[in-house]
Amino acid sequence: MLLLLLEFSMLNKKKVVVVMPAYNAARTLLQTHREVMAQDIVDLVIVVDDGSSDETVRVAKDLPATRLIVHAKNMGYGANQKTCYRAALEEKADIIIMVHPDYQYTPRLIPAMASLIANDLYSCVLGSRILGGYALRGGMPIWKYVSNRVLTLVENMLMAAKLSEYHTGYRAFSRELLEQMPLDKNSDDFVFDNQMLAQVLWAGYTIAEISCPTKYFPEASSIGLGRSIRYGLGCVTTALSFRLSRMKLLRCSLFETPAGSGRAQ
């Protein structure tokens, strides 16, 4: 009981909502959910199923403290996240944490990520696979690791940032930040993740990172080489658009809000 009171105090009475963008995650959803709820600070889990062809919806219906939203057809990873974040804001969440239901990222970092936001230190926190050297040790294919490092270098140069990676799917946001983001202007595909971080940087927010161990196994979600190439090109295009918009040489719908309009830490 004392531990629960300390955690509640640490989070300054903030409502924590975990969102899970799910697609064919029936094999790992229950395990991920159990570990999420074991952290004792999560008030609600929102599972958005993006037209899965397996038993994801059936599994999700039996999960406690969970709101299930089902897309009638597959709309894409970015579209799934848009639904996730809209629903979290509808639920009056103060802290929103995205956890992939494939159990690639450990939910045990939820308290640490949430506390950084609850204590007004940061409004965006990423779980980085690169910090601490966990990516290769966790089984990340070497070609994905090299691609990650090259893309991150290019993005840091173009956006004047110093992130260890832009491509993690483990993210936490404050309500204040999400309400400012023009997410509907972003892609419905995988590059949504990258566009969102670019918008966070555009708004002037500092992004925190914590080291996150990850696991790669057959059930963990992954995209193939072809889609990875399209994603990489999309990331470079986003970063280049960011730089040209900062230089006032381009007007991009992703970056229409005044640069630095957010609350920088």
Each of the 265 residues of the chain gets a pLDDT tens digit; together they read 444 444 544 587 899 999 999 999 999 999 999 999 999 999 999 999 999 999 999 999 999 999 999 999 999 999 999 999 999 999 999 999 999 999 999 999 999 999 999 999 999 999 999 998 878 877 888 888 999 999 999 999 999 999 999 999 999 999 999 999 999 999 999 999 999 999 999 999 999 999 998 877 665 556 677 788 899 999 999 999 999 999 999 999 999 887 777 655 5
In sequence order, which residues have a C-beta less than 8 Å from that of residue 87 and are 6 or more positions away? 19, 46, 48, 67, 69
Give domain status of residue 260, yes or no: no
Q: What residues make up the domain containing 233? A: 2-255
**Joined tokens for residue 203:** 């708004």
Strand residue runs (E) in the chain: 16-22, 44-50, 66-71, 95-98, 124-128, 171-174, 207-211
Give domain status of residue 174, yes or no: yes
Backbone angle region of 102, left / alpha / beta, with phi > 0 → left and psi within -120 to 50 → alpha: alpha
Question: To which H or E segment does residue 226 belong?
Answer: helix 225-246
- Write out 150-175 in H/E/C secondary structure: HHHHHHHHHHCCCCCCCCCCCEEEEH
CA atoms of 29 and 68, how far apart (whole Å): 12
The dihedral over CA atoms of 130, 131, 134, 139, expressed in degrees to the nearest 10, equals 0
Give domain status of residue 161, yes or no: yes
Strand residue runs (E) in 175-260: 207-211
| pLDDT in the model for residue 218 | 60
Give domain status of residue 88, yes or no: yes
| pLDDT in the model for residue 9 | 46
Give the other-Cβ count within 10 Å of 241's Cβ. 19
Give domain status of residue 262, yes or no: no
Q: Quote the DSSP letter at residue 258.
A: P
| pLDDT in the model for residue 6 | 45
In sequence order, which residues have a C-beta less than 8 Å from that of residue 215 and are 6 or more positions away? 103, 104, 138, 139
- Looking at the structure of the chain, the number of domains it has is 1
CATH of the domain at 160: 3.90.550.10
**Joined tokens for residue 146:** 């090299």
Strand residue runs (E) in 6-165: 16-22, 44-50, 66-71, 95-98, 124-128
| pLDDT in the model for residue 260 | 76
CA atoms in the 13 A half-sphere facing the CB of 21: 25
CA atoms of 100 and 121, how far apart (whole Å): 24
